[in-house]
Homo-oligomer: A and B are copies of this chain.
Amino acid sequence: MDEFEIIRRYFERAVSDDSIRVGIGDDGAVLRPDPGRDLITVIDTLVSGVHFPPSLSPADIGYRSVAVNLSDIAAMAGRPRWMVLALTLSDSDPAWLAGFSSGLFAAAQEFDLALVGGDTTSGQETAISIQIIGDVEIDQALVRSGANSGDAIYVTGTPGDASAGLAVLQSGTPRNSDVDYLVKRFARPNARVDLGQAIAEHASAAIDLSDGLFTDIEKLLRASAVSGLIELSEVPLSAQLIKLMDEDDALRFALGGGDDYELCFTSQAGAEVFQEIADQHDVPITCIGQVNESADSGDALLCTRNGNEYEYHHDGYRHFH
C-alpha cells in the first residue's frame, strides 16, 4: 500500500465546510479564515514507545494524538478549526491504519475539527505529528504570561489519573472499573476546549498540563515573572486514584506524572465564578494556591502540605517530550 492509497483509503473524508477552499490532495490546503480573528497554531509529536506504549490500541493512539494538540488550543481559549497530519509509519498495517484513523476522526468530529492535509512517510518507528490551527477573537488568546500577584491558582479535573493509567497499562495491573477509568484518562484525554473558552474572560493566564502539575505551574509562573504557592491538600485527587494507592503516591502522580491535559490557570475572580462554570461543564475546577510577587530565591513555586512547608523533589527527570 503506497502513500496515495493510504491517504485515499484512510484519511480522505468528504467535508462540507466553506472555510476549506482546497482540502487533501493538492500541494497544500487553502483555508479561508474568519475576518477579525487571530490564529492559534500548535504542533505536537507522539513517538511510539516514547509518548505511548506500542500496545495502546490504534484508535486510542489516533484519538490521543489529536487530543493533546487540542489541549494546547484549549489552554489559549481557542476554537479548533483545521488539522494537518504528518504520519511516519514503521509499516503500513491496514488494521492499525483503520483503527488509528477511526480514533483520529472521532476526536476531530467531537471538536468540529477538519483534517485538511498531511504527509505520509516510512521510517523505523511510528511517529505522529499533528498540527492544529485554531482561532480566537483578536487579542483574546489566553497566554502563560499574564498571572499577577494576588491571583488564585486553579486546576481543572483531577491530575495524576492519566500518568497512573499509563503506569498500570505498562505494569499489567489487573483491570477493574477504577483501573479502566485511569487508563482511559491516559488513552483518551478530554481536551478542555469549551472550558478554555468559558474561563477566558476571567483568567489572567493559563497552561495545559502535559509535563506534570508542578512543572507546568512553574512554567506559567516563570513566564509571568511571579512566584506561587500551592497547598497540596487542596490538589483534587480522583476517587479512583485514591483507591489504587496511598495519598503520598497519588500526590506524586498528580504533581509529577504529566499527561493530564487538564488546564491550570490563574484568576482574580472569586471561586463562585468557576464553580458555576465547573457545574455547567461537569468538570471540577479547584483552587489550589495563589500567585505571589516574584521570588528572590530561584524557586518560582513553593508547596505546603496541610499548612506545613513541603519540599517537593521532582525527580530531576524532565520529559524529553
Binding site for B on A (CB under 8 A): 2-4, 21-22, 25-33, 35, 38-45, 47, 49-51, 72-73, 75-76, 78, 82, 84-86, 88, 116-125, 127, 129, 131, 133-134, 136, 138-139, 141, 143-145, 206-208, 223, 318-321
* Given contact pairs A2-B320, A38-B31, A143-B22, A121 touches B45 in the complex (Cβ within 8 A): yes
- The count of identical subunits is 2
Contact residue among B86, B124, B320 (Cβ-Cβ distance under 8 Å from A86): B86
- Pair B116/A41 contact, Cβ less than 8 Å: yes
- Pair A21/B141 contact, Cβ less than 8 Å: yes
- Pair A144/B321 contact, Cβ less than 8 Å: no
Contact residue among B2, B3, B50, B129 (Cβ-Cβ distance under 8 Å from A129): B129
Contact residue among B72, B84, B88 (Cβ-Cβ distance under 8 Å from A41): B84
* Chain B proximity of A152: nearest CB distance (Å): 20
A227 to B272, CA, bound (A): 67
27 residue pairs A–B, Cβ–Cβ below 8 Å: A3-B319, A3-B321, A26-B76, A26-B145, A26-B223, A27-B144, A27-B207, A28-B78, A28-B134, A29-B42, A30-B38, A30-B39, A30-B136, A31-B38, A32-B38, A32-B138, A44-B119, A47-B88, A47-B122, A86-B129, A86-B131, A120-B321, A121-B320, A123-B125, A124-B124, A129-B129, A131-B131
- Pair B47/A28 contact, Cβ less than 8 Å: no
* Chain B proximity of A301: nearest CB distance (Å): 16
- Pair B28/A88 contact, Cβ less than 8 Å: no
* Chain B proximity of A45: nearest CB distance (Å): 4
